[in-house]
Structure 1
Amino acid sequence: MSNQPYEGPYEGQYQGYDGNHDPYAQQHQQPQAPAQAQAPAQAWPGHQQAYDDPQAAQQYTQQWQGQTWDTQVQQTRPAASDLAYFPPQNYQAAAQSHDPHAQPPRPEAPEAQAPAGDGYGPPSLAGNARITDAQRARLEGRSPIIEPGMQPAALTAVLALLLSVTAQIGSYALVVPLVILQAVTAAGWFRLNGMWPARQGIALAFAGALVADVALLAAGRENGPAAILGTLGVWVLLSLVMQLRSHADPDTRITSLMATVASAALAILAAGHLAAEPDAVTVGAAAVAVAILARALPLPTVASVIVSLLAAAGAGIAVGGMTGMGAKGALLGAGAAVCALIGHRVASYDYPSRFVHFTAGVALPLAAAAPAVYLLGRALV
């Protein structure tokens, strides 16, 4: 083989090549400064370019006005207020895409939905996840109070008439409707406070009421206040002991303690009907029955309350005339009706359930009227 360089048919063509006559070569031999000046606007983010002058590089960096995919993503991100209606977007995953026009898809606005049921609306991402019917009613300018209505009022009237009639028969006959009243009072108060099931608390409150009844029957009406207050004090202590043995968190124990004490107090105070004079029980219970029925009539609230008080006073006069109290029955009937209407209002609090209406709505008017029947009966009879 020869050591001479290869001289083929193409060798002469490349030896005669002159870059000055080639238009493509002239383009590549142009000064590089203009290209460097435009490089920041054309370069892809993240690509570093060599600058001969560091100050010039800093100047171009500060005067960056080119639009890249990164700035487009920032412009398309939703505002803070929109985040309450749309789920969070995965911008980091979209930023890893090689397509400069790739943007995270914007979800469509959700359609209006009906409430999810059970007194709550649909969940949202704004922090105010679910609201009750009472809160929604306040926001809409409506009253959150729903009164028990005519059916619970009728049951209250029946129970009140049983108390009124059995009071004239004797103490042991009066105990039968009284025990029913105390049981419904204990259960209704716990349900009214949103605590259900609460078997231990209901059982404890009802047991306190039974103990008070037995103490009254043993000690007699003349020792009624001592029997009622003594039982109440013992049951408050028992409620404290029961909550101290609970393993629930402190807030739950405090709430349960308050509900248990209040339920036991109302159930025990209902025994005041057994401690009161029979004629006072007859007049007061009849007045409560009439007042609650009148309160359930479809009238404005103020007019309904006035009609209830007038009806209770009239019933007090009518029944008082049959028992020997006479006109004094009007005052006793009106006083018992005021306490009964307070109990009725408590049972109407903050969108109660139907079970609350048929327990607390039935029992609280009669239970709340017991102290008035006892005190006014002792003063007027």
Structure 2
Amino acid sequence: MTNQPYEPYEPYEGYDPYQQQPPAQPQWGYEEQQYATQQWQGQTWETQTHAPVQAAAAPQTTAPETAYPAPQSYERPYVAEQQQAHPAPPQRPQAPTPEPASSSSSASASAESAGQGYGPATLAGNARITDAQRARLEGRSPIIEPGMQPALLTALLGLLLAVAAPISSYALVVPLVVLQAVTAAGWFRLNGMWPARQGIALAFLGGVTADVAVLVAGRDQAPAAILGPLGIWVLLTLVLQLRSHADPDTRMYGLMATVASSALAIIATGFLGADPDAVSVGAAAVAVAVLARALPLPTPASVAVSLLAAAGAGIAVGGMTGLGTKGALIGASAAVCALVGHRAASYDYPSRFVHFTAGVALPLTAAAPVVWILH
């Protein structure tokens, strides 16, 4: 104890608690800066309708305090994130509160982009599904038949084959090469692979090779002249796909499409290896069957009319060529294969290009093996 009066502690040097302090400036933390960066990267409804947040001055106190005002523009994304992370239990449905459509859609897009890194929502739905998939989800059929115009082209090409077959093998090669080219291009487009110039050229070259082999070896050696190029082209396609630098799925898909297209183009050479009379009967039957199938009738009735018309055409042309009643069997069998090819060209919402390539060629190409076997 001393007799000296009480002296208060001196404040720290440079610090005056009674000195007028300037207004405190808001300091943004790491999370707020991140939200602010995300806020201005895309156009959301908060950046369009809300004014920028102004910093509020802190009250005068003995020590400066840092103010952290809650930004209004982040309330909705934060609430949306919390709702996604902790969904509320199901409740009794209530009448929805009317809200502007633009605000709700933009808010959901902002919440998704801020929380999950996804792009903004679209009004047209999921753009990654095909029309055929959407049709199946909606209960609609993805089958669209080629129609009358491709059927007329098929009938014209079939009549050319039927007329050229009795003349000579070299005359038959001309419409046959056209058929093989249209088959190769149509099959690749039907499988969604376009442009695929190398695959189309490879498949067409396989068909031409088989044609040359049959012309050189003769009709008697047609089985070996057709099956030989078929095996060689399968191996060639395997080698080319193994040398490809594409991803495994793409290579497998290209391998299957190229092998199938090459096989179809080579099998069409069966018209060249079959008896000319059988070629005339089969090609005429396919022409009549496809025209009957294009008539505006229910599908069961259209199929029945097509088969009956093809059998009648087989009998008629068979009577002119000397095949007789055997022409009915060839005509009906060729019509069945033609309807299978017609169905394949109608699958999975085909385009107009598919209808005028695969829709024209596949009915005739599919009938070639039957004509060759039954001649």
- Give your verdict on TM over 0.5: yes
Alpha-carbon distance in structure 1 between the residues aligned to 2:292 and 2:145: 13
Give the equivalent residue in structure 2 for 1:237: 235
- C-alpha separation between the residues in 2 aligned to 1:289 and 1:251? 38
Q: Which residue of 2 aligns with 1:170?
A: 168
1:254 alignment partner AA: M
8 Å CA contact 2:288, 2:306 repeated in 1? yes
Post-superposition shift, 1:169? Answer: 0.5
Q: How does 1:313-328 map to 2 (within 5 A)?
A: 313-328=311-326
1:191-235 residue CA offsets vs partner (Å, 9 max, x unmatched): 010011111111111111111000000001111010100000011
In the superposition, relative to structure 1, how do residues 199 and 75 fare at CA in structure 2: closer, same or farther (>3 Å)?
closer
What is the deviation of 1:91? 12
1: distance between equivalents of 2:244 and 2:112? 46
The Cα shift of 1:320 comes to 0.6
- Provide closer, same or farther for how the CA distance between residues 90 and 317 of structure 1 changes in structure 2, counting only shifts above 3 A: closer
Give the counterpart letter for 1:227 in structure 2: A
Provide the residue aligned with 1:194 in structure 2.
192
User: Which residue type is aligned with residue 314 of structure 1?
Assistant: G
Structure 1 residue aligned with 2:10: none
1-side partners of 2:374 and 2:275: how far apart?
10
Q: Counterpart of 1:351?
A: 349
Q: Distance in 2 between matches of 1:183 and 1:221?
A: 22
Measure how far apart 1:300 and its partner are. Answer: 1.0
The question of whether the paired residues in 1 share the 8 Å contact of 2:77 and 2:110 is answered with no
Give the whole-Å Cα distance in 2 for the aligned partners of 1:185 and 1:343.
11
Larger Rg, first or second structure (1 or 2):
1
Going from structure 1 to structure 2, the CA distance change for 1:84 and 1:361 (only over 3 Å counts) comes to farther
Q: 1:241 to 1:69 in 2, by over 3 A?
A: closer
Instruction: Give the Cα–Cα distance (whole angstroms) in 2 for the partners of residues 91 and 338 of structure 1.
Output: 55
Q: 1:186 to 1:74 in 2, by over 3 A?
A: closer
Task: Tell me the percent identity.
Answer: 73
> Aligned runs of 1:1-381 on 2, under 5 Å?
77-78=79-80, 79-80=83-84, 86-89=108-111, 122=124, 128-377=126-375
Deviations 1:38-62 (A, max 9, x none): xxxxxxxxxxxxxxxxxxxxxxxxx
Quote the offset at 1:139 in angstroms.
2.3
SS at match of 2:108: coil
Amino acid in structure 2 at the alignment position of 1:265: A
Query: Which contiguous aligned blocks of 4+ residues in structure 1 show a shift greater than 4 angstroms?
Result: 72-76, 78-85
Q: Identify the residue that residue 60 of structure 1 maps to in structure 2.
A: none
TM superposition score normalised by structure 1: 0.69
Cα deviation for residue 307 of structure 1 reads 0.6
Judge conservation of contact 2:77–2:107 (CA < 8 Å) in 1.
no
- What SS class does the counterpart of residue 144 from structure 1 fall into? coil
CA distance in 2: counterparts of 1:369 and 1:89, whole angstroms: 58
Structure 2 Cα separation of the partners of residues 285 and 84 of structure 1: 61
- CA shift, 1:133, in A, is 1.8
**TM-score if structure 2 supplies the norm length?**
0.70
Q: Contact 2:76 / 2:111 at 8 angstroms: preserved in 1?
A: no
The one-letter code sitting in structure 1 at the alignment partner of 2:190 is L
Partner SS state of residue 141, structure 1: coil
Alpha-carbon displacement from aligned partner over 1:133-168 (angstroms, at most 9, x marks no partner): 212222222111001110001000000000000001
Structure 2 residue matching 1:146: 3-state secondary structure: coil
User: C-alpha distance in 1, partners of 2:107/2:354?
Assistant: 36
- Distance in 1 between the 2:273 and 2:185 partners? 23
Going from structure 1 to structure 2, the CA distance change for 1:282 and 1:90 (only over 3 Å counts) comes to: closer
Measured in 2, the distance between the counterparts of 1:91 and 1:202 equals 43
Give 2:334's aligned amino acid: A
Structure 1 pair 69–270 and aligned structure 2 pair: CA distance change class (3 A):
closer
Q: Where do 5+ consecutive residues of structure 2 fail to align? A: 1-69, 88-103, 115-120
Q: Is the alpha carbon distance of 1:350 and 1:90 closer, same or farther for their aligned partners in structure 2, counting shifts above 3 Å?
A: closer
Structure 1 residues 91 and 177, CA, compared in 2 at 3 Å: closer, same or farther? closer
* Inter-partner Cα distance in structure 2 for 1:86 and 1:151: 48
* In structure 2, distance between residues paired with 1:213 and 1:91: 59
SS of the residue corresponding to residue 77 of structure 1 reads helix
Q: Quickly say closer, same or farther: Cα 1:282–1:74, change in 2 above 3 A.
A: closer
Alpha-carbon contact 2:345-2:355 (below 8 Å) kept: yes
Aligned length: 280
Q: Secondary structure at the match of 1:197?
A: coil
- State the one-letter code of the partner of 2:108: F
1: distance between equivalents of 2:71 and 2:246?
55
Give yes or no for contact 2:204–2:265 (8 Å, CA) kept in 1.
yes
Provide the aligned C-alpha RMSD in A. Answer: 2.7
